[in-house]
């Protein structure tokens, strides 16, 4: 038994030496792992559309980028404050940084006046970015006629005369013809005086609608 003690002590020293070597290697490699650790969440750019027309499909689009890669972009929405949020994954548009989702018009009840929603972006490391939150969501109002359209004034009142139904090119042609007619009448009046400078000019009045740009 006494003869085996030195062997055991030698084995213990060898094991301790191995532990020290392994710990040293791990310590030396740890800075490399720290440098590759991703702690940066995705960046989401979003311009909300606050008002849209009832009966239309509703399209939502955002831009999302990440220092590594965007893993998922989830769109959560509901049609009333008492409803639970539905989930839908936004799809990337080609090779761009844009992501989009569409709520079909048939999926939106006709009585709905507002869509509440928020957006959650995650990268491969699990870092997360939110646009809106469940208890304070973003909102899009649905109206019969958006105010942006209702406030637009017509650029010009359509003429009820014959010229009002003509295109811009046709109106320009009519205007040119009118000028030529005036010139012809003035020339005829000049020639009708037989060289008499005291001859009277015949007054001519031509009435026409103003030329307006067709839209």
Blockwise average pLDDT, block size 10, the chain, 215 residues: 60 66 57 69 93 96 95 96 93 96 96 96 95 96 75 45 42 42 45 48 46 41
Q: What is the location of CATH 2.60.40.10 in the chain?
A: 43-148
Q: What is the pLDDT of residue 46?
A: 87
For residue 26 the two structure tokens come to 């791990």
Tokens 């006629």 identify what position?
145
Residue 141: what are its φ and ψ, rounded to 5°? -80, 140
d(CA 24, CA 90): 46
Tokens 């105010």 identify what position?
147
If one counts every other C-beta atom within 10 angstroms of the C-beta of residue 29, the result is 10
Residues comprising the chain, all counted:
215
**Does CATH number 3.40.50.10260 belong to domain 43-148?**
no
Q: What is the pLDDT of residue 77?
A: 98
Residue 33: what are its φ and ψ, rounded to 5°? -65, -40
- Is the separation of the CB atoms in 131 and 118 below 8 Å? yes
Q: What is the pLDDT of residue 112?
A: 95
- Is the separation of the CB atoms in 93 and 99 below 8 Å? yes
If one counts every other C-beta atom within 10 angstroms of the C-beta of residue 37, the result is 8
Q: How many helices (H) and strands (E) does the chain have?
A: 3, 10
If one counts every other C-beta atom within 10 angstroms of the C-beta of residue 77, the result is 21
């Amino acid at each position: 038994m006494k003869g085996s003690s030195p062997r055991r002590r030698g084995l213990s020293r060898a094991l301790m030496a191995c532990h020290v070597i392994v710990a040293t290697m791990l310590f030396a490699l740890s800075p490399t792992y720290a440098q590759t650790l991703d702690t940066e969440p995705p960046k989401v750019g979003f311009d909300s559309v606050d008002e849209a027309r009832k009966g239309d499909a509703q399209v939502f689009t955002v831009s999302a980028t990440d220092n590594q890669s965007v893993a998922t972009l989830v769109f959560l929405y509901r049609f009333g404050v008492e409803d639970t949020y539905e989930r839908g994954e936004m799809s990337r548009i080609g090779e761009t940084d844009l992501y989009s989702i569409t709520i079909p018009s048939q999926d939106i009840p006709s009585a709905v006046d507002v869509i509440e929603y928020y957006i959650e972006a995650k990268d491969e490391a699990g870092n997360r970015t939110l646009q809106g939150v469940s208890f304070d969501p973003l909102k899009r109002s649905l109206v019969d006629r958006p105010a942006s359209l209702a406030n637009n004034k017509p650029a010009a009142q359509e003429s009820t005369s014959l010229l009002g139904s003509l295109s811009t090119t046709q109106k320009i042609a009519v205007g040119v013809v009118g000028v030529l007619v005036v010139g012809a009448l003035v020339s005829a009046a000049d020639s009708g005086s037989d060289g008499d400078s005291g001859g009277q000019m015949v007054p001519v009045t031509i009435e026409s609608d103003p030329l307006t740009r067709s839209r």
